[in-house]
Every structure is written in C-alpha cells, then in structure tokens.
Structure 1
Amino acid sequence: MSTTERHPAGLRTLFLTEMWERLGFYILMAILTLYMDQEMGWNDATKGTIYGAFLGLSYFFPVVGGWLGDRVLGRTGTVRTGAVLMTLGYASLGCSSRVAVTPFFAGLLLVGIGAGILKANLSVLVGSLYEDRPQLRDAGYNLYYMGINIGAAVAPLVATAMSIWFGSYRVSFWIAAVGMVFAQVFFLRGLRHFPATSAAAAEQQRLEDSAAPEEFMPRLLALGGLFLVAIFFWTAFYQNGFAMTLFAQRSTKAYNLLRPETYQFFQPFFILVVTPPMLALFARMKRKNCEPSTPGKILAGMLIMGGSMLVMALASRLGGNLDRPLMSPGWLIGAYGFITLAEVLISPMGLSYVSKVAPPKIRGLMMGCWFAATATGSYGSGFLGRSYGRFPHDHYYLLLAALLGFSACLTLLLFRRLKTFDTQVVP
C-alpha cells in the first residue's frame, strides 16, 4: 500500500490529544448541570443561562482561535496555549463551592476560552495531513471523531465513579485537569509529524497571493449556508447535558449504577460502535460510485435528529411530564441511539466539508466559524432550557423537532450550492 493510500502518522497524535482533551471536557459536561443543582443550589433558569453561556463561549472562541492559528501563534502554538488554559480552569473548578463562587466562574471562563482556541486548530491540523490524499479526508475526520468519543464515553463513567466513591462531583474536576496534562504530553511528543509553522505560513501566503478574490465568495456562501443549518442541529444536540439530564434525574427510574450523569456515556459509546461499520459501508458505496455526498449525509442526519426529539416527546407524553421517576431508561437510551446516528452524519462531515471548501488563507477562521455555529446552537440549547419546567416537556421536545424539520428544509434549499464544492479542494 502506498503512503497516499493509508492515513498519515500525525492522525494518531491528534487522535490521542483530542481523546484526552475531550475526556476532561465531557467530565465537565456530564456533571455541570448537576453540580449547579446540588452543590450550588441554583434554579433551572439560572442553570440554563450559565450552561448555555459556557457552551456558547467554548464554541464561539474557535473564531478567535482560528485567527490566532492563521496569523499569530501558528496552529501548534495556539493548541498548546489552549491546553494550558483548560488545565488551569479545571483546577479552579476543583476549588469552587457554594461559598467560593468566584473559582467556579473563573474556571468556566478559562476552560471555555482554552477549549475554543484549541479546538479549531486541532481540526485544521487534521485536514492539513490530507493535502496529498484528499480521497481519505472524510474517513480521516471520522477516525479523529472516534478519538473524541472515546474520551466522551469514558468521561461520564469517571464522573459516576468519583461521585459514588467521594460523594462529590468536585473530585472529577481534578481528574479533568490530569487528562489535560496527558493531552499535552501526547501532542508535544507528536509535533514532528506536522510541518514547521514558518513553512506552513509561507505556503499559505503563496496561496493567498495567487488566488483570485472572485473564487472566495461562492465558497463563503456555501459555508455560510452550512453554518446556518448547523445551528439548529446543535441546539437540539446539546439538550443531552441539560433537558435530557434533567429528564434522567427527575423522570427516569433510578438504579444504583445508572445515575443521571451516566446516561451521557451511551451517545459516545454508540458512536464507537456505529462508526466502523458506517465507514465500511461508505467505502463499499464509494467503490460502487454510489456514496452519498457530504451534504446528503448532513440532510439525513438532520432528519434522524428530529426523530430523536420525537422519541423524547413521546416519552414525556407517556409520563415524563410528571417529573416523577416513572420512565424506563430505555427511552433515553433509545433517543441517544438516534442522536448518535445523526451526529456521525453531521459533525465529522461538517469538519471535513469546511476543510475542503474554505479558502486556505482563512481556513482556520472558517473552521472557527463552524464552531461559532456550534456556539450559537449550544447557547440556544441553554436559552430554551430556561423554559424546560414552564410548560409540558412533550411540547418542549416537539418544538425542537420542528426546528430540526425546518433545518432539513433549509438543507434541501441549499443542497445544490453545498454539493457544488463537495468534491473540490481549493486550488
């Protein structure tokens, strides 16, 4: 097998870096709402506002991170800076309590900024490894996404174990800090797999100088349409850490080892199970010249995500609206199954699409804008979450299903424009 027919060695470095980084981040996501509820004693409106603001910060700052990576610190320098900020942020959260609120907000701020500037540049680095093998780019992002989800799958199990053994969520924040130390170690050990910043910057400048300005606008319009569609997906997706966590806490039958934070294990676990056969299926379809386009996969993901919200609406109508522990865990686990399929079809495909379509001189910035769309949707999840207890839960989930139906219609309207650039790489 030639070197252009297998994945580059740098993918392993980025896989392990992101796995450890996401372990810490998803430990925080698994317990943030519960920590604010049980440790801080805040009401749903306050929790929803803080939850949405933190996610918005985490996924808006990639715009800044993309600019820093493009123009100031370089990709690797920005990743290292973000990792240090995240480590300090988790340590600050570990020092917080009901009477020490300042470390709580300082920790969220540091983690949000650090994750933001790190995330965009790791994602761009993945794409940069495939300049000489673009046919493997989609599969590369899927494999990278598996690293994300190994960390995300282990995280709620760690949080559950820590809360059982120590009777507090606070210890989990220190575990997240240790995870960030491991992320930095693996990243530094693998730096040799990436081109020198100066060489990359020189090549980028050459591309900027040779590219015609009129080539940019159609690509930017296509990306703008993708970002708009993504907002609705992430608004529904991030109910996993808010409305669905509250459903687990208040409306689902309790079991000793199946606690509210544990449910967030199922989604990344399903991704690890689903991704290999899905990659094999797409590879087989590609050999037969019938693989769906990236926009086609995204459209299918939107429809499946709408199905997950309908599952939750039905569960709410059948008893979840009462906020009493009546419902089988199967409802939540089934909904997470639908969410998993949707996520695999949308999130790594969105990263790959941005990597393919974005003009080289602003590739980091455009990757940041993808995460800014995530930020807008994640803030929307918290904004809607403030109303979780104000009207029946089935109405809440039906509203989300309607938003996803609208986004699917929008994807259809934009489909031709999105598909135009799907198989092209910026010259």
Structure 2
Amino acid sequence: MSTTKAKHPKGLPFLFLSEMWERFGYYLMIGIFTLYLKDVKAGFAMTEAESADLYGTFIALVFLTPFLGGLIADRYLGYAKSIIIGGILMGIGYCTMAIHDLTMLYVSMTLVIVGNGFFKPNISTLLGNIYSTPQFETRKDEGYNIFYMGINIGAFICNFFGAALYIMLGWEYAFIAAGIGMFIGVLVFISGLRHYKAFDVKKGVQDGDMPFSKIIYLILLPSIVAGVIGWIVPQALLGHPLIGTNSTDAFIFACIPVVYFYGSLFMQASKEERRPIAALLTVFAVVILFWAVFKQNGSALNTWADRYTDRHVSTPIAEKAFTSLSLSQTVTYKKDSVALYDEAFRLQKVNGQPIKEFNYPLYFRNVTPNQLPSEGTTVELWATNLSQSINPGWVIILTPLVVAFFTWLRKRNQEPSTATKIMFGMFISALSVLAMVAAVYAGNNGAEKVSVLWLMGGYGIITIGELFLSPMGLSLVSKLSPTRITSLMMGGWFLSTSIGNKLSGVLASMWDTYDHKANFFWVNFALLMVSALIGFALLKWLNTIMKERGIK
C-alpha cells in the first residue's frame, strides 16, 4: 500500500491516470456534442434551443445515475467491479456514437449515462478510502486536488484530438477516439488494483437500510412514472411545458422520488448520523446553481466562442501551426453569402412546418467592415471546440498554486474548513460571470466579435471558484458521510450536479430569447450570488457539525 515516508498513497497515480483517461473520453465527446447536433451536413441540424435542451438532459442524467451506481457498489458489487463495468459501458457508448442514426445516438447516450453511474461515484469514494489511514488523512483535500488535476489534464488534451479528427476525418472518428481513451483508463485502473484492493470493501446491507427491492418500487419505478407524468400532463393541461420543454418537466418530476429518498436517509438516520447527513444535504442544495452556470461551457459558452469570439488565425506562424495540426477550418468571404459550410442551410420549424434556414452559421455576420477581408479571400478559423480546453488548462495551471496556498495556510493553522472553501468557491464563481457581462458590452451586444481573452478571463476566474468547490465537495462527502453510505452520499453529490446540469441546459436554451446578451449573464450572476450568500449564512452551522466530527 504505502510506506511511512510516502506523502501520498501508491494507489493515487493509478486512480489519477484512470480518471484522466476517463475524462479524456467524456470531455472529447462533450466538447463536440452540441456542434455535432447542430451540424447541417453530417449532424442532425438541430436548433440552438434543441441542442441545448438535449445537451442539458444528457449531462443531467449522466450525473443522476451515480445515485444508483453508488448504492449498488456499497451493497453488492464493491468499488473496483463497479468502476470496471462503468468504464466498459462508457467506452462502448462513445464508439457507437460514431453511427449516424438518431436512435443509435440515444442508445449510445444511455450506455454513457449508465456507465458513468457505476464509474464516477465509486472511483471518488475509493480515492477517499485510500486516504482513510491516519498517515494520509490530513492530506485528503490535497489528494482530491491532485486527482482533480488528472481530470483536467484529460479534459485539456482531448479537444485537440477531437478537433483534428472531426476536421480531417469526420465526427465518427472523434467519437471512436473518446471510446479508446475510456478503454485505456479501464486498463490503467486494473493494473493498479493491488494498491487499493484492501480499501475495496463492500458495506453490505446495514440495519435500517432500505432494501433494494423497496428502492426499486419506492424510488426507481416512481421516478419513471413521475417522469412520464411530467412529460405528458403539464403539456396536456396547460398547452405548454411548465419549465422550458417537456424533457425538462419530465426530469424535474423524475427527480422528486430520488430527492425524497435522500430525505428519508436523514429521517431514518441515528441521532449521531443525522447532523452530518443534514450538513451534506444542505451543501448539495447550495451548489446546484454553481453547476447550472458552470456547465454552460458546452452550450452557451460554446455558442459564444462560435459566434461572438474572433477565431481568425491571423499570424502566419499560428496559421501554419493550426493548419498543420488540422485544428482550423477554412472560410471564404463572399459579400452576399458567407457561410462556414458549403451547403449552408439547416432545417428549422416555423409554425410546425419544416423549412430551410439558409446561410447558417455566418462567421462574418458580426465582423466590423474595416476588418472584413477582400471578396473571395480565404481565412483560417481555429476550431470552436478548442475553447473547451481553456477551463481545464486553467485547472492544470492553478491547481498547484491553490494546493500550495492551502498548504501554506495549514502550516500556520489558518487553513479554512472544507465547507468554507466551498462557499468562497461559489462567491468567486459569481464574480467570473462579470467578465462575460463586460465581454458583451465590449462587443456592442454581439454586433462585433471580441477577443478570446474575454472568454479566457471568465474561465480563469470561475476555475479558481471551481478549485475551491468541486474537489472540496468530493472531500467533504468522504469526511462527513456515515461509513455505511459513503458511496451513496457521493451519489448525492452527483445528484446535485445532475440537477444543476439540467438547469444549465434550461438557461442555455433561452440564449436566443435575450435581445441583450448581458441580461443572460446578469441572470447567471444573480443566481450564483444568491446561492453564495445563503451558503455563507449557513457556514457557522456547517463548521460546527464538522468540528463535532473532529474534522475541518
């Protein structure tokens, strides 16, 4: 396992690399997902709202299934088997996305959703377990930060592979590359089993636990029924969905039994366990709005990069580098009709009737006249999905600094509690949205393209918030959860992520309804700031519970 002089357990590098390759596959797929859905030639010609809604539903369900995967691992399969099964299912799902068929797309998405449910909560729980010995317990936050950097190394490099493959060969090759990355991650995990085998202990069914059969007919079946009701009833009674789309209503209704289940954990817990569970459920609720804003990176912020950011590769050296690596797309300027695609139309619906919307998308639509190239000039644009590497790039750069900062504070006995870090993460994330508000004004509300530096600045600030919040959330669950339901509570953390992810799709689907784009970002700012203030108001209570458990 580890020597007495080791700073971190020997299993950390294997879990780090397994998660790195898993995230390589996931973020490669997510980085091109909405672009693929909207592609009028090789995709499905979806509208902005349609693609954002499907994207939000997909990533919501991806983070909803860890609730079930964590429970099955805790009681029956153990963590290692669950991680291997989940990784294989995801790898198959990515590869089958290469088949251009709408039914197969949904089948592939289902495989990824189920696979992530088995993989995600259990590798995070296993990491916490290998830090559970007195020798490593004080380094748990640091271990999660390092693990989180592994996630983002995979998320950073994948977009370059994705861009080169879909530009040179087509979307299908990019999806296959995502699958191969996932299979590599599974092999790395298996190769390190000896280092964490001792920590892969099934908890079994404990006294007071709800039997799995009861979970099926009290939680899972009601979720399915509630989802169907949410899809049909509001539309039938009101003539329109309650919130956004039928899929959004269905998701919200389906979450009600799952939320009830987590509430029942609190109600049925012993007196000793009740306060820690209450603290965790509170944190889960507070961070939902963080994910609602943060997860717009694959939807609204991808749209910002595509339509409103100057992607022109303007210097000869850069142009040579981008073209040689196949990371750019060629666009020819024509005065009357300029499009990114040769056949520049997409299918739209107007009054229920399909029509063709021509000249979509127009890169030069919001380029100022003095910056327009000459008629017939060909220019190179860096691939839109490369903007998805900005956030993980910042994580790689900033993680050592954040870890060093908290290490410095720890040596002086001034390190804030894990809960305090999370609430400051919410506040810092709110400030990041102001950079995008400024970007809207700099571009005269989309009339002119703006520098990619605005996007980089916004991502840079929210990355600091992310590092204060996301790995700390995983650490908090590991510290506060009653041992018998650790992985299940890890699933609760991902449930809050799931709800936030769906809300991100709801928010992003309203992008085109805002005439002034600054108002879109002001709404995001207000949501994050209100959530942060609620978190700070609860902080004293949360820290008291942590002190009662003898942790920070």
TM-score by length of structure 1 reads 0.93
1:81 corresponds to which of 85, 100, 105:
85
Matched, 1:251 2:300: no
From 280, 302, 314, the counterpart of 2:404: 280
**Quick one: distance in 2 between partners of 1:265 and 1:195?**
34
Name the counterpart of 1:164: 167
Aligned amino acid, residue 134 of structure 1: E
Deviation at 1:317, TM superposition (A): 2.7
* Structure-2 separation of matches of 1:365 and 1:202: 11
Deviations 1:311-347 (A, max 9, x none): 112212332633x561111111111101111111100
CA distance in 2, matches of 1:237, 1:243: 10
2 CA distance for matches of 1:180 and 1:425? Answer: 38
Distance in 2 (alpha carbons) for counterparts of 1:195 and 1:44? 46
Partners in 2 of 1:334 and 1:252 — Cα distance? Answer: 13
Matching residue of 1:41 = 45
- Listed as ranges, the matches of 1:133-148 within 5 Å are 133-148=136-151
Instruction: Look up the match of 2:465.
Output: 342
Moved more, 169-178 or 416-425: 416-425
Q: Which residue in the other structure is 1:154 paired with?
A: 157
Range 251-260 or range 120-129, more displaced: 251-260
Q: 1:399 aligns with which of 507, 523, 530?
A: 523
1:312 aligns with: 436
Residues in 2 aligned to 1:104 and 1:377: alpha-carbon distance in whole angstroms? 23
1:117-150, CA deviations, whole angstroms, 9 ceiling, x for partnerless residues? 2100000000000111210100010011011011
* Structure 2 residue runs without a partner (length 5+): 210-268, 314-321, 323-381
Residues of 2 paired with 1:153 and 1:74: CA distance? 31
1:214 maps to 2:271 = yes
Q: Distance in 2 between matches of 1:360 and 1:215?
A: 12
CA distance in 2, matches of 1:254, 1:34: 16
> Which has the larger displacement, 239-248 or 104-113?
104-113
Q: CA deviation at 1:201?
A: 2.9
For 2:5 and 2:52, locate their aligned partners in 1 and report how far apart those are by CA, in whole Å: 47
- CA distance, structure 2, for counterparts of residue 219 and residue 296 of structure 1: 16
The alignment's C-alpha RMSD in Å is 2.2
Aligned residues: 418
Q: Report if aligned partners of 2:27, 2:155 keep a CA contact under 8 Å in 1.
A: yes
Q: Is the Cα contact below 8 Å between 2:70 and 2:117 reproduced in 1?
A: no
Give how far 1:50 is off: 0.4
Distance, in Å, in 1 between the alignment partners of 2:448 and 2:77 is 51
Is contact 2:426-2:528 (8 Å) kept? Answer: yes
One-letter identity of the residue aligned with 2:274:
M
The CA distance in 2 between the partners of 1:381 and 1:318, in whole Å, is: 24
SS in 1 for 2:287: helix
* Deviation readout 1:81-136 (Å, 9 max, x if unpaired): 1111101101110112xxx2111111111112211221000000000001112101
Q: Secondary structure at the match of 2:511?
A: coil
Higher Cα radius of gyration:
2
State how far apart, in whole Å, the 1-side matches of 2:150 and 2:500 are: 23
Specify which of 264, 276, 298 is matched with residue 241 of structure 1. Answer: 298
| Structure 1 residues 142 and 409: alpha-carbon distance in aligned structure 2, compared to 1, 3 A threshold | same
3-state SS of 1:336 partner = helix
Q: Secondary structure at the match of 1:154?
A: helix
**Percent of residue pairs identical:** 36
CA contact (8 A) 1:270 1:340 kept: yes
Task: Supply the AA of the counterpart residue of 1:387.
Answer: M
Question: For 1:127, what is the secondary structure of its paired residue?
Answer: helix
Instruction: Tell whether 2:122 aligns with 1:121.
Output: yes
Partner of 1:390: 513
Q: Distance in 2 between matches of 1:2 and 1:193?
A: 12
Q: Distance in 2 between matches of 1:24 and 1:71?
A: 28
Residue 310 of structure 1, CA deviation: 1.2
1:330 matched to 2:453: yes
CA distance, structure 2, for counterparts of residue 411 and residue 107 of structure 1: 38
Higher share of residues assigned helix: 1
The amino acid that maps onto 1:53 is T
Structure 2 matches for 1:364-375, cutoff 5 A?
A: 364-375=487-498
Aligned to 2:19: 18
The AA in structure 1 aligned to 2:293 is A
Letter in 1 for 2:529: G
Cα deviation per residue 1:278-310 (whole Å; 9 max; x = unaligned)?
211211111111112112211221111111111
For residues 64 and 223 of structure 1, the distance between their equivalents in structure 2, rounded to whole angstroms, comes to 18
Do the aligned partners of 2:75 and 2:204 also contact (CA within 8 Å) in 1? no
Q: 1:258-286, CA deviations, whole angstroms, 9 ceiling, x for partnerless residues?
A: 32110111111111111112211211111
Q: 2:187 aligns with which of 185, 188, 193?
A: 185
Q: Give the counterpart letter for 1:298 in structure 2.
A: I
Contact 1:204 1:360 in 2 (8 A): no
**Partners of 1:252 and 1:320 within 8 A in 2:** no
Q: Distance in 1 between matches of 2:138 and 2:444?
A: 46
Code of the residue aligned with 2:517 in structure 1: it is H
Give distance in 1, aligned partners of 2:160 and 2:458: 19
